[in-house]
Amino acid sequence: MVLVMTDTTREDIPEFGSEFREKLTDLFRWRRDVRRFRNDPLTDDVLDYLLQLASLAPSVGNSQPWRFVKVEDAFRRKSMRDIFEAANLDALNDYAGEHAKLYAQLKLDGLDQAPVQLAAFVDKETVLGRGLGRKTMPETLHYSVVAAINILWLAARAHGVGVGWVSIINPEQVIELLDVPKDWALVAYLCVGYPQEEHIDPELERAGWQERVDMKKFVFKR
Amino acid sequence: MVLVMTDTTREDIPEFGSEFREKLTDLFRWRRDVRRFRNDPLTDDVLDYLLQLASLAPSVGNSQPWRFVKVEDAFRRKSMRDIFEAANLDALNDYAGEHAKLYAQLKLDGLDQAPVQLAAFVDKETVLGRGLGRKTMPETLHYSVVAAINILWLAARAHGVGVGWVSIINPEQVIELLDVPKDWALVAYLCVGYPQEEHIDPELERAGWQERVDMKKFVFKR
């Protein structure tokens, strides 16, 4: 893979033409939540490059509250699978009949295969940004971390790398397992690696769990 | 403006080459939180197209919990400015000395000029997705709306359109003003329009409020 390194000296306002816009739409359409990964490792330089791009995300008050933890320890990775399995079994018990049958067949994580696992935290007490913009809506600090994850996700897909967001986990257990500062809260646990397959439709749509709905139904006027 | 309409029949897996990746990096670098808008209107077809792209965002369980409200009523738009002014004055009172002086000089919203105002809500009780993926981390529903906003933001910049996220507001006042269903929570209030200026650096950095920090300081191993 050839990384396109950022030329930080280039200050010309870029032009985004129709060709780029069309490809960008393709990127949005083909970004998937990946749960099936190939065995090939993801090199540190690729991951670090994607994280650099993620740092270009917007953050409330420019607080940059994102904290990423690469989870490499074998025991911790095994424990993450246990944490997922327990939460997934508990979630399965909320469904009955056909829904339970379908839920049990879904593959909802890539923890067994993903070469890279990345926990994304928010530093709730960061002094960066001096609290600007988050007095009445403190959750914007968490949203800033989500923004970084979204940039990472799109950049990854453009480099042929898949990202899967695992949320069926008890966040307090993850915090304890990863031994992070007490002011951090878990935002996401990400699996990262090269995908086995590429799809234009979400896996949950393909599996018959939930179809997409026309955005027009979600836009209102006041 | 020429909109690049999505060809939904095209199913070939796209190739993202180095030229696209470089432009994508430019897009991440030049996306800004815009507070200074030109007077030109933004046509409905542009906005609706950007919202269509936003609906390609990931959402937990494919729940698509995003609900967008175009705020067009003159009284409501005036009231939004009042809501911002009150929260901004209250925030200013938290600072003292040089910080207070600097805060008072910052332009933190574009409510006075933006041709389009868009409130983004999360439907906390949506049945879509049947609760999948959000039992232990219900906040992922809100994060899904943030993902849609991030796609909208990037797509907008690629089309020369600026977006500014206003968070210095009391969300309960906005919910009451916009008379939305009781199960909705406010995620963001967005100003949308053509920007007066383009910048590669965040306004808060330029103004001396908060510099960017090297991402390397925010990446850890466990």
* Residues A19-48: tens digit of each pLDDT: 999 999 999 999 999 999 999 999 999 999
Contact A23 B14 (CB under 8 A): yes
Cβ <8 Å between A215 and B171: no
- Distances in whole angstroms, Cα of residue A90 to Cα of each of A85, A94, A103, A207, B133: 9, 7, 12, 21, 11
Chain A residues closer than 8 Å to B140 by CB = 165, 167
Query: Is residue B9 over pLDDT 90?
Result: no
Mean pLDDT, rounded, of chain A: 95
Whether residue A152 is contained in a domain is answered as: yes
The alpha carbons of chain B give a radius of gyration, in whole angstroms, of 19
Give the pLDDT confidence of A43-80 residue by residue, as tens digits. 999 999 999 999 999 999 999 999 999 999 999 999 99
Stretch A142-154: mean pLDDT: 98
Tokens 């909705």 appear where?
Answer: B184
Using alpha carbons, list the distances in angstroms from residue A107 to A33, A42, A85, A190, B144: 11, 22, 11, 15, 20
Return the residue of A nearest to B103 by Cα.
A132
Residue B11 pLDDT greater than 90, yes or no = no
Residues of A in contact with B68 (CB under 8 A): 218-220
Distance of CA B29 to the CA centre of its chain: 16
Among B101, B144, B108, B106, CA closest to B124: B144
Please report the pLDDT score of residue A26 as a whole number.
Answer: 97
Q: For position B133, what pLDDT does the model report?
A: 97
How near does any CA of chain A get to the CA of B113, in Å? 18
- The Cα of A167 is separated from the nearest Cα of chain B by a number of Å equal to 6
What is the sign, positive or negative, of the torsion defined by CA atoms of B140, B144, B145, B147? positive
Nearest CA in chain B to A212: B62
Residue in B20, B130, B140 nearest the CB of A167: B140
Domain ranges, residue A57: 33-198
Among candidates B18, B55, B219 on the partner chain, residue whose Cβ is nearest the Cβ of A68: B219
- The answer to whether position B21 is within a domain reads no
> For residue B104, what pLDDT band results from cuts at 50, 70 and 90?
very high
Contact A99, A52 (CB under 8 A): no
Nearest CA in chain B to A75: B222
Band of residue B56 on the pLDDT scale cut at 50, 70, 90: very high
Phi then psi for A99, rounded to 5 degrees?
-65, -40
At B123-138, the pLDDT tens digits run 999 999 999 999 999 9
Yes or no, beta carbons of A210 and B18 under 8 Å apart: no
Side-chain half-sphere CA neighbours of A160 within 13 A: 14
The yes-or-no verdict on residue B215 having pLDDT over 70 is yes
- In total, the C-beta contacts within 8 angstroms joining chain A to chain B are 288
Q: Is residue A4 part of a domain?
A: no
Banded pLDDT at B5 (limits 50, 70, 90):
low
Nearest residue in B to A188, CA atom: B140
Q: Looking at the partner chain, which of B147, B158, B219 has a beta carbon nearest the beta carbon of A51?
A: B219
**pLDDT of B6 strictly over 70:** no
Residue B25, domain member (yes or no): no
Task: Please report, for the domain that includes residue A169, its CATH number.
Answer: 3.40.109.10
Q: Supply the pLDDT for residue A163.
A: 98
**pLDDT above 70: percentage of residues in chain A:** 95
Chain A residue numbers touching B25 (CB-CB < 8 A): 4, 6, 53, 155
List residues bridging with B122 in a β-sheet. B66, B185
> What's the rounded mean pLDDT across residues B187-192?
98
Band of residue B7 on the pLDDT scale cut at 50, 70, 90:
low
Say yes or no to pLDDT of B13 above 90: yes
Average pLDDT over residues A129-143: 98
Q: Which of A2, A73, A210 sits opposite B61 (nearest CB)?
A: A210
pLDDT tens-digit profile of B58-91? 999 999 999 999 999 999 999 999 999 999 999 9
**Closest CA in chain B for residue A219:** B68
Mutate to test the interface with A, among B44, B84, B123, B146 (most CBs of A within 10 A): B146
Mean pLDDT of A134-141: 98
Task: Calculate what percentage of chain B has a pLDDT beyond 90.
Answer: 95
> What mean pLDDT do residues A1-28 have?
80
Distance, in Å, from the CA atom of A88 to the CA atom of A190, rounded to the nearest integer, reads 16
Q: Flag if B204 and A151 touch (Cβ within 8 Å).
A: no
pLDDT, position A117 = 98
Contacts of A167 in chain B (CB under 8 A): 60, 133-134, 136-137, 140
Give yes or no for residue B4 having a pLDDT over 70: no
pLDDT in tens, A153-194: 999 999 999 999 999 999 999 999 999 999 999 999 999 999
Number of domains chain A contains: 1
User: Which of A143, A144, A163, A213 is the best residue to mutate to test the B interface, defined by the most B CB atoms within 10 Å of its own CB?
Assistant: A143
Q: In this predicted structure, what is the pLDDT of residue A9?
A: 54
pTM, full prediction: 0.96
Mean pLDDT of chain B: 95
Residue A12 lies in a domain: no
Shortest distance, CA B192 to any CA of chain A (angstroms): 15
The side-by-side arrangement of strands in the sheet containing B162-166 is: A219-221, B66-70, B116-123, B184-193, B162-166
List CB contacts (< 8 A) between A4 and chain B: 18, 21-22, 25
CA of B97 vs chain A CAs: smallest distance (Å): 14
Structure tokens at A157: 């897909």
